[in-house]
C-alpha cells in the first residue's frame, strides 16, 4: 500500500485502532486505493499505508498504521502509539460492544500518545442500516463528551471515508502549526503567545 511520492512538506504518523472486524483495514484500503475487500483476513500486528494530500497549501503525507484489533495483539499494537499525531478510533454501528469499547481504546491511546495528537471517532458500516445497534445520537453524544469529532462511514459504499481522514489531517496540521507558533513565540522576546489567545 505504498505511494511512491517523497515530495512533501510535512509527514505525520496516523493510527487506526478499534475492535477486531470493525473495518479498520477496509477503511485504509478504501482511502489509499479506493478498493474494498469483502473477504479480507484479520490483521496480524500492524500494516501500513500512505496517502498524500494538500492542506493549507502544504503537501502533506499521512503515514497510516492499521493495527490489529484482536486482543492477543494488544501489546504489540500499543507499542506503535508513540509519535502518532492523529488517530481514528473505529467501531461497527451494527455491534454495540465495539462502540462501548471506544472508551477503552480512547483511554489506552491517551495514556501513551503525544499530548497534541488529534483524535476522531468513526462508526463504520453505515450501509448496514437494518442491523444498526448504535444510533447516531448516542455516538454524537460520546464524541461531544470527549470533545472529539465524529463520522459515520461505509468503507464498502465509500461513504464519508475521505471526509473522515481529511478532517483528521486538517486537525493534525492545525495542531502542528499551533505548536510551531508556540515554539517560535516562546523563543522571541516580547512576543505574545498566540495559541493561548486562540484557544481561550
Please give the grid coordinates belonging to residue 29.
484500503
Q: How far is the CB of 22 from ligand GTP (least distance, A)?
A: 4
Cβ partners under 8 Å of residue 166, min gap 6: 53
Name the residue nearer to ligand GTP (CB basis): 22 or 169: 22
What distance in Å separates the CA atoms of residue 49 and residue 87, rounded to the nearest whole number?
14
Report what 49 binds from ligand GTP, Mg ion, none; CB cut-off 5-8 Å by kind: none
Q: Is residue 97 close enough to count as binding ligand GTP by CB under 6 A?
A: no
Q: How far is the CB of 16 from ligand GTP (least distance, A)?
A: 8
Report what 21 binds from Mg ion, ligand GTP, none; CB cut-off 5-8 Å by kind: ligand GTP
Cβ partners under 8 Å of residue 48, min gap 6: 1, 63, 64, 65, 66
Report what 47 binds from ligand GTP, Mg ion, none; CB cut-off 5-8 Å by kind: none
Q: Give the CA angle between residues 176, 22, 140 to the nearest 5°.
A: 60
Of the listed pieces 14-22, 101-109, 134-142, 173-181, which binds ligand GTP according to CB under 6 A? Answer: 14-22
**Residue 90, H or E segment:** strand 86-92
Q: Is residue 68 close enough to count as binding ligand GTP by CB under 6 A?
A: yes
Give SS3 for 1: coil
Of the listed pieces 23-31, 77-85, 183-191, 192-200, which binds ligand GTP according to CB under 6 A? Answer: 23-31
Q: Is residue 156 close enough to count as binding ligand GTP by CB under 6 A?
A: yes
Q: What is the CA radius of gyration of the chain?
A: 17
Task: Decide: 98 and 18 in contact? Cβ < 8 Å.
Answer: yes
Q: Which of 31, 43, 89, 173 binds ligand GTP (CB under 6 A)?
A: 43
Q: How far is the CB of 107 from ligand GTP (least distance, A)?
A: 18
Beta-strand pair 58-67/86-92? unpaired
What distance in Å separates the CA atoms of residue 84 and residue 65, rounded to the nearest whole number?
9
Query: Interaction with Mg ion in 29-48: which residues (CB under 5 A)?
Result: 43
Q: How far is the CB of 92 from ligand GTP (least distance, A)?
A: 7
Task: Decide: 12 and 61 in contact? Cβ < 8 Å.
Answer: yes
Contact residues for ligand GTP, defined by CB under 6 A: 20-26, 38, 40, 42-43, 68-70, 124-125, 127-128, 154-156
Amino acid at each position: 500500500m505504498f505511494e511512491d511520492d517523497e515530495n512533501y512538506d510535512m509527514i505525520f504518523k496516523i493510527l487506526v485502532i478499534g475492535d477486531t472486524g470493525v473495518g479498520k483495514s477496509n477503511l485504509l484500503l478504501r482511502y489509499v486505493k479506493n478498493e474494498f475487500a469483502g473477504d479480507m483476513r484479520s490483521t496480524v500486528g500492524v500494516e501500513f499505508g500512505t496517502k498524500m494530500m494538500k492542506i493549507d497549501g502544504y503537501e502533506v503525507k499521512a503515514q497510516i498504521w492499521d493495527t490489529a484489533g484482536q486482543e492477543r495483539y494488544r501489546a504489540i499494537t500499543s507499542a506503535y502509539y508513540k509519535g502518532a499525531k492523529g488517530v481514528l478510533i473505529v467501531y461497527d454501528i451494527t455491534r454495540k460492544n465495539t462502540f462501548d469499547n471506544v472508551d477503552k481504546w480512547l483511554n489506552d491511546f491517551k495514556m501513551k500518545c503525544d499530548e497534541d495528537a488529534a483524535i476522531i471517532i468513526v462508526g463504520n458500516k453505515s450501509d448496514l442500516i437494518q442491523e444498526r445497534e448504535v444510533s447516531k445520537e448516542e455516538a454524537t453524544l460520546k464524541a461531544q463528551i470527549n470533545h472529539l469529532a465524529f463520522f459515520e462511514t461505509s468503507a464498502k459504499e465509500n461513504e464519508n471515508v475521505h471526509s473522515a481522514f481529511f478532517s483528521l489531517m486538517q486537525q493534525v496540521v492545525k495542531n502542528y502549526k499551533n505548536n510551531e507558533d508556540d515554539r517560535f513565540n516562546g523563543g522571541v522576546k516580547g512576543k505574545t503567545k498566540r495559541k493561548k489567545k486562540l484557544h481561550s
